[in-house]
Structure 1
Amino acid sequence: MTNKEQIIYAIQKNIDDTEWDKHFEGLFSAFKSDNRVLSREKFLYDQVLGLLSQVELKNEPQIEKYLKYVKQWLKDGIKSSLIKEEYGTNIDMGLFKDSEIWYEIAVMLKYCAIKLSDEELNHIADQISEDIEEHLYVPKMHSYKAKVSSDFRMSVDGMLNNTTTIVAALFMYLKYKNHQNNGNLNKLLSRMKQIRSLMTNDQFFVSRVNLDGSLNMHSKITLKGQCLTTLLFYLVGKTTSNHTFTSIAKDIASYTNQRFWDKKYHGYFSFIDSDEKITIHKEYVALLTEKTPAKLSFDNALMLFTLNFIKWNTLSKKQEQRFNNALHYFMSLYDDRNAGFFIGEGYFWAAPGIPVGPFLRSVAPTPETPGVFNLGTKKFLNLADCKI
Structure 2
Amino acid sequence: MKLEKIINEIEKILPTKTAEEFDNVGLLLGKTDVECNKALVCHDVTDEIIDEALNNKCQLVISYHPLIFKSLKKINYEDRIGRIITKMIENKLSLYSIHTSFDNLKNGLNFDLGKILNLQNQKKLIPKKNSLMKLTSYVPNGYLDIVLNSLYKAGAGEIGNYSNCSFSAKGEGRYLGSKESNPKFGNKEELTKTSEIFINLIFPSHRKKEIIESLINSHPYESVAYEITKIENKNPDLGLGSIGVLPISMTEKKFLEYLKNKLPVSVLRHSRFTKNKIKIVSVLAGSGAFAIDTAINNKADAFITGDLKYHDFFKSDNKILLVDAGHFETEFFIKNKLQELLKEKIPNFAFIRSKINNNPVKYF
- For Structure 1 versus Structure 2, the TM-score category normalised by the shorter chain is under 0.3
Provide TM-score, normalisation by structure 1: 0.24
Task: Determine which structure has the larger helix proportion and give its number.
Answer: 1
Larger relative contact order (Cα-Cα within 8 Å, sequence gap ≥ 6)? 2
Task: Determine which structure has the larger strand proportion and give its number.
Answer: 2
Higher-Rg member (1/2): 2
Provide TM-score, normalisation by structure 2: 0.25
